[in-house]
Amino acid sequence: MKRIRRSFTKEFKLSVIRELENGKNAAQVCRENEIHPVLLSKWKKQFLENPELAFSGKVNISSKDAKIAKLERLVGQLYAENEFLKKTLSFLEIKLQEYRKKGGKI
């Protein structure tokens, strides 16, 4: 006997994700909606990666575009970390100068 592949609407998927966000247990959400836990994890991952484009239909993002997007996110993260480290270093240099002016030795 052939199994029929079920399809779910964007609204259904979003409602399931909202149930999780409202604190429901993943196992309970799966039982109530009759979906497999792996499918729920997949939907959650898609939603967390890009909420605006999640479940938008049969749009195939090429692997090159996906890799570019991933690298652009990484560049943004590294830029933010770099700025944080620059500010921290500047702050520590000022504190070190103040410490030395008071006669402290390192």
Does 44 share its domain with 71? no
CA distances from 64 to 45, 47, 49, 51, 71 (A): 20, 20, 17, 20, 10
Distance CA(4)–CA(11), nearest Å, equals 21
Does 30 share its domain with 68? no
Does 72 share its domain with 88? yes
pTM reported for the whole predicted model: 0.50
Instruction: Supply the range of the domain harboring residue 43.
Output: 8-57
Q: Specify the number of domains making up the chain.
A: 2
pLDDT band with cut points at 50, 70 and 90 for residue 58: low
Mean pLDDT of 23-32: 91
pLDDT band with cut points at 50, 70 and 90 for residue 74: very high
Does 46 share its domain with 67? no
96 lies in a domain?
A: yes
Whether 92 has a pLDDT exceeding 80, the answer reads: yes
Does 46 share its domain with 81? no
